[in-house]
Chains A and B, each alone.
Chain A
Amino acid sequence: GDSVTQMEGPVTLSEEAFLTINCTYTATGYPSLFWYVQYPGEGLQLLLKATKADDKGSNKGFEATYRKETTSFHLEKGSVQVSDSAVYFCALISGNTPLVFGKGTRLSVIA
């Protein structure tokens, strides 16, 4: 079945550091790919998405590019802030199945 694998956390970075959270997927067909973020005490929010190969999703300084050849959708940000501390979930949807989530990666940014 479809699945998403993302790097284990927690990830701890200093403010203004570069962030990469790796995400790879297995899916039949051509999935749409998503990153969701969960801030402390809140539900999940859509951060960005890409619906076809080579698409780049971006929002709030975060970017991710849909790489079909490597089945990846890595999340990047050039300069993280303390307010980016949260749990990040990679997800996909393919065909007639509900959204499939990765296990989540906790990011802590220290001043």
Chain B
Amino acid sequence: ETGVTQTPRHLVMGMTNKKSLKCEQHLGHNAMYWYKQSAKKPLELMFVYSLEERVENNSVPSRFSPECPNSSHLFLHLHTLQPEDSALYLCASSQDWTSGAKNIQYFGAGTRLSVL
């Protein structure tokens, strides 16, 4: 148990659906992250939030919309996805988003997303 919980663990959706991924951390951290992990590709950092403000957005398509209502919760809203968006989506949190050892990231188990 890493202290970061992601729901759901598995999600199957059609290209016209709207769904949301949820992440909750119980570690008192100030920074939260979304990553995309596809087969045979490196981990892709999607979004970084620090104290509920977005500090990094790595050219992610607008069909992915993050929301951070407070420092413990992070959502990823999905709409009109494509089959190539099928992947494992990982959430992580850290004490701070920079500054060496304070950036040790704790990961959730991920949501396995399949887009049909």
Contacts and interface: CB of A to CB of B under 8 A. Distances in A.
B66 interface: no
Contacts of B56: 98
A43 B101 contact: no
Interface residues of B, number: 24
Contacts of A99: 45, 103, 105
A43 B43 contact: no
B98 interface: yes
The secondary-structure label for the interface of chain A is loop
Interface stretch (B12-20, B69-77, B78-86, B107-115): B107-115
Contact of B107 (A43, A51, A97): A43
A43 B109 contact: yes
Given A98-B56, A102-B42, A103-B42, A34 B2 contact: no
A101 B42 CA distance: 8
Interface of A: 32, 34, 36, 41-46, 49, 51, 89, 93, 95-99, 101-104
A46 B109 CA distance: 13
Contacts of B99: 96
B48 interface: yes
Given A98-B45, A98-B56, A101-B43, A46 B108 contact: no
A96 B42 contact: no
A103 B39 CA distance: 11
A98 B98 contact: yes
A43 B48 CA distance: 17
A43 B90 contact: yes
A35 to B, nearest CB: 12
B109 A42 contact: yes
Given A49-B104, A104-B42, A93 B110 contact: no
Interface string B34-49: 0000000011010010
Contacts of B109: 41-43
11 contacts: A36-B107, A43-B110, A44-B90, A46-B105, A46-B106, A51-B100, A89-B43, A98-B45, A98-B48, A101-B43, A104-B43
